[in-house]
Amino acid sequence: MSTTENAIACAEAHSAHNYHPLPVVVATADGAWMTDVEGRRYLDMLAGYSALNFGHGNRRLIDAARAQLERVTLTSRAFHHDRFADFCTGLAELCGMETVLPMNTGAEAVETAVKTARKWGYRVKGVPDGMAKIIVAADNFHGRTTTIVSFSTDPEARADFGPYTPGFEIVPYGDLTAMREAMTENTVAVLIEPIQGEAGVLVPPPGYLPGIRELTRERNVLFIADEIQSGLGRTGRTFACEHEGVVPDMYLLGKALGGGVVPVSAVVSSAAVLGVYRPGEHGSTFGGNPLACAVALEVIDMLRTGEYQQRAAELGDHLHHELGLLVGGGPVRAVRGRGLWAGVDIDPDRGTGREISEKLMERRVLVKDTHGSTIRIAPPLVIAKEDLDWGLEQLREVLRG
């Protein structure tokens, strides 16, 4: 048995099989490259579902984490700590908003948004108690908690986890008319991904996000943008909403906010909306801890200059140009996305997304498939152009074969 096979067999013996990883066992990583237990190097074209926008082992992030490790890592919110104010101020400023509520994982940020919208609905909008409704889109991915899977349309994510949390209305993604029709007096929020990541990097039709903005403003409904995967530079802008000139009422952030070092998520909104909370009504032991704040503060600082966004935009143009050449006549059916983020639909006759991913792995490129024959490409934003080109060449070779 090889070292790799042995490591996989041991892991499978004692872990729940809630994932189906590619058969590679990573030992170390640097920038856009990962090295496995047998010394083979792989180009990371997934970047931890965008948690690693700044690459593996980013010097600035590791230094910030190390410095904070030596000072204080956890206080709980029972006490103040000296990184908290800078983190909240910095993140609010980056978002052009007023108030930050820190959590840890993306799902917790979504849960916090749901609770906030409901509370806002009862306390501010005047919705009768227990009647609040939140509109979401079909094929969404917002996380894995019982409430969140309650409004998933993916049978894999949802089946057998009931009873489900009520209070959600599901409408087709990209359909403004359906959203308008679903809206009632009791609607407190629209929760939407500005680009649907897990669904296959689906970019909504032009005008959709501005349409939601207009509609929600008209009807006194909160527009919640889940930018957990699309945000923080991935699409070539700080937020995917910016491509449509839209500012929501609330951003949900996670993944890259922790720089791939620690889990950090946040809800960012106005003082009026997040001002609904009083002490004791919501919280998290680890939310806003000193280590998380120190790393996230560095992430915020890195995004301030716009250099990562610009890199994602430029390399993204190149990526989409190259992928575009594969569409039509060839094995690629369609390519979608923005910036360094692409969903590539492969002709199902050429194999499933999983098979393509395995063949790419054999060529030392790591990607992840999503539904059926779609693969998703999202390398760290720090990837060298030559490395991106090399990765694309491997994809062309796999599709040729």
| Catalytic residue positions, numbered | 141, 226, 255
Q: Tokens in use for 292?
A: 């998380």
Exposure of 332 by Cβ count < 10 A (0-12 exposed, 13-18 middle, 19+ buried)?
A: buried
Q: Which tokens sit at 275? A: 């001002």
Q: Of the two residues 64 and 109, which places its CB atom closer to ligand PLP in the complex?
A: 109
Least distance (Å) from ligand PLP to the CB of residue 389? 27
State the Cα–Cα distance between residues 225 and 330, nearest whole angstrom: 35
Residues forming a β-bridge with 262 = none
Q: Which stretch binds ligand PLP (CB under 6 A): 73-81, 100-108, 280-288, 350-358?
A: 100-108
Contact flag: residue 294 with ligand PLP (CB under 6 A): no
Q: 94 vs 110, which CB is nearer to ligand PLP?
A: 110
Residue 123 is given by DSSP the state I
Q: Is 143 in the site for ligand PLP (CB under 6 A)?
A: yes
Looking at the Cβ atoms of 49 and 54, the one nearer to ligand PLP is 49
224-263 binders of ligand PLP (CB under 6 A): 226, 228-229, 254-255
Does 193 help bind ligand PLP (rule: CB under 6 A)?
A: yes
Integer-rounded Cα radius of gyration of the chain:
21
**Smallest separation (angstroms) from ligand PLP to the CB of 248:** 14
Residues 58, 105, 147, 269: which binds ligand PLP (CB under 6 A)?
105
Tell me the CA distances in angstroms from 100 to 112, 116, 157, 242, one per residue in order.
11, 12, 29, 20
Q: Which of 31, 121, 194, 197 binds ligand PLP (CB under 6 A)?
A: 197
Q: Report the residue closest to ligand PLP, judged by CB.
A: 106
Distance CA 137, CA 332 (A): 27
Decide: is 139 part of the binding site for ligand PLP (CB under 6 A). no
Nearer to ligand PLP, 68 or 229 (CB): 229
DSSP code per residue over 36-70: ETTS-EEEESSHHHHTTTT-BT-HHHHHHHHHHHT
Residue 105 Cβ, how far from ligand PLP at the closest point, in Å? 4
Residues 257/264, Cβ–Cβ less than 8 Å: yes
The residue among 198, 182, 202, 195 whose CA lies nearest residue 135 is: 182
Which is closer to ligand PLP, CB of 269 or CB of 394? 269
Q: Which of 36, 45, 46, 49 binds ligand PLP (CB under 6 A)?
A: 49
Sorted by sequence, the CB contacts under 8 Å of residue 359 that are 6+ apart come out as 351, 398, 401
Which listed range, 136-144, 279-287, 319-327, 371-379, lies at the site for ligand PLP (CB under 6 A)? 136-144
Q: Does 107 bind ligand PLP (CB under 6 A)?
A: yes
Binding site for ligand PLP (CB under 6 A): 49, 105-107, 110, 141-143, 193, 197, 226, 228-229, 254-255
